[in-house]
Amino acid sequence: MIKAIVNGKSTFTVNKEQEITADGQKVDWSAIQLPGGDYSVIMDGFSYQAQVIKVDKEAKTVLLQINQQQYEVTIEEPIDQLLAAMGIKDAMAKKVNDIKAPMPGLVLKVLVEPGQAIKKGDPVLILEAMKMENVFKSAADAIVREIKVSERTAVEKGEVLIVLE
* Domains of the chain with CATH codes: 2-92 (3.30.700.30), 99-164 (2.40.50.100)
Q: Which pLDDT value is given to residue 65?
A: 94
CA distances from 20 to 31, 55, 79, 110, 112 (A): 12, 21, 19, 50, 46
Q: What is the mean pLDDT of the chain?
A: 87
Strand, coil or helix: 85: helix
Q: What is the pTM of this model?
A: 0.52
Residue 143 to residue 119: CA distance in whole angstroms:
9
- 24 C-beta neighbours (distance < 10 Å), count: 7
- 20 C-beta neighbours (distance < 10 Å), count: 17
Q: Which of 86-90, 128-132, 159-163 has the lowest mean pLDDT?
A: 86-90
Identity of the amino acid at 90: D
Q: Which residue has the higher pLDDT, 14 or 23?
A: 14
Q: Which pLDDT value is given to residue 96?
A: 66
Q: What is the pLDDT of residues 96-145, one digit of tens each?
A: 678 998 889 999 999 999 999 999 889 999 999 888 899 999 888 889 99
**CA 110 to chain CA centroid, nearest Å:** 25
- CA-CA-CA-CA dihedral for 79, 25, 17, 78, to nearest 10: 0
Residue 92 has pLDDT above 60, yes or no: no
